[in-house]
Amino acid sequence: MNYKLIVSYDGSRYYGWEHQPDKDTIQGRLENVLGRMCQREPSEMKIIGAGRTDAGVHAKGMVCNVVMDVDMTCDEILNYANHYLPDDIAVLQVREASERFHARYNAIGKTYCYTCYAGRVKTIFDRKYVTRLEEMPDVDKMQKAAADLVGQHDFHSFCANPRMKKSTVRKVDKIEIVQRKGYITFTVHGTGFLQNMVRIIVGTLLEVGYGRIAPDAMPSILEAKDRKLAGPTAPAQGLCLMEVDYQ
């Protein structure tokens, strides 16, 4: 049976989603626990994630699928997994999926949320999930610049991999920037994202907010297809994968 899982995690202490030998990753942890459940080696568990999140990035709604041969209900699988997973990884939902369901190929959209904090009062309890800013950037300027990034573009300048051989054309449907009580949240929705793309978009918009890049510079940065013209990659800890869309 092919199962679809929704997974949430605090990425702080992991080397990202994707399995790596001798590294602690979310996929690796899932392979261990589901392998134990299925009485298989972890390496036999083919868990397909909707995408990869980088080291330190969080998720509230990562989706993955895995074919398993177990005599258990979805609820039993969920309870088993949550019991054996560490307390910073949770399976939120287990559903039986069609044989052909593929968490990556079938994904048609993703929502990421990036949270910054520029308030005067030091916050304690969400410190691992926000990026602290020294001062408040100009949100109007960032919103103007963000509008020019929405749409279908070649995002080569916003990709961490300069030798990307496949197409770097992506469609971004929405970049919403909200300022509230010292927090700034960037909600980005698109059909797919390049390596570090959301973090480079946020890093570039923050440069605009601080007046170091002009608000009308986005079209020329896109056109140049040069990573060096965009801003720095914003830190991983402010980023969270919120949701993956399927038909």
- Taking the least distance from each CB to its own copies, the nearer of 22 and 87 is 87
Shortest separation between residue 180's beta carbon and its own copies, angstroms: 18
* The token pair that represents 165 in the structure block: 């051989």
- Taking the least distance from each CB to its own copies, the nearer of 8 and 53 is 8
Shortest separation between residue 107's beta carbon and its own copies, angstroms: 22
Q: Spot the catalytic one: 54, 87, 138, 245.
A: 54
Residue found under tokens 């890093």? 203
Least Cα distance to 201 among 176, 231, 244 occurs for 231
Query: How far is residue 47 from each of residues 26, 117, 218, measured CA to CA in Å?
Result: 11, 35, 37
Shortest separation between residue 60's beta carbon and its own copies, angstroms: 8
CA-to-CA distance for 60 and 240, rounded, in angstroms?
7
Neighbours of 111 (CB within 10 A): 18
Shortest separation between residue 210's beta carbon and its own copies, angstroms: 20
CA-to-CA distance for 49 and 157, rounded, in angstroms?
26
- Taking the least distance from each CB to its own copies, the nearer of 105 and 125 is 125
Is-catalytic flag, 75? no
Interface contacts to its own copies, rule CB under 8 A: 8-10, 58, 82, 87-92, 121-127, 129
Neighbouring-strand partners of residue 112: 188, 241
On whether the CB atoms of residues 194 and 155 are closer than 8 A, the answer is yes
Shortest separation between residue 114's beta carbon and its own copies, angstroms: 15
- Taking the least distance from each CB to its own copies, the nearer of 154 and 243 is 243
Q: Which distant-in-sequence residues (6+ apart) come within 8 Å of 113 by Cβ?
A: 185, 186, 187, 188, 239, 240, 242
- Taking the least distance from each CB to its own copies, the nearer of 88 and 148 is 88
Active-site residue list: 54
